[in-house]
Amino acid sequence: MFLGPALPSNWSDDSSVEDYCRSTVTTFWHYHGGCLVGKVVDGDFRVMGINSLRVVDGSTFTISPGTNPQATLMMLGRYLGLKMLRERRESQCRFLPVQGSYVL
């Protein structure tokens, strides 16, 4: 038994086939959307209202990328990780006496 919209009655009508695909095609394997940016985490992936907690994973995606998501997720993790390290170094440098230049 299939639960969901009925198959398009006219398979020659591209727009109704397109509508059918958009409303039914999904995946079991690419979970996303549980911790949306702007709703659960802010633009820096910090959990809103909680100090020192970030969520950086597929749950922050509003939509699943139109392909396997693993590479996108790894890039997101690396991007955020490097950004956090840079910010941490910058905030530590503010408290150090100035002795030449710092390599960040």
Ligand X SMILES: Cc1cc2nc3c(=O)[nH]c(=O)nc-3n(C[C@H](O)[C@H](O)[C@H](O)COP(=O)(O)OP(=O)(O)OC[C@H]3O[C@@H](n4cnc5c(N)ncnc54)[C@H](O)[C@@H]3O)c2cc1C
Burial 21-45 (b: 16+ CB within 10 A, else e): eeeeeeeeeeebeebeeeebbeeeb
Site for ligand X in 13-32 (CB under 6 A): 29-30
Interface with ligand X, residue 54, by CB under 6 A: no
Q: How far is the CB of 30 from ligand X (least distance, A)?
A: 5
Site for ligand X in 74-103 (CB under 6 A): none
Interface with ligand X, residue 70, by CB under 6 A: yes
Question: Smaller CB distance to ligand X: residue 14 or 44?
Answer: 44
- Is 30 in the active site? yes
DSSP 43-79: TT-BBTT-TT-B--SGGG-SS--SS--HHHHHHHHHH
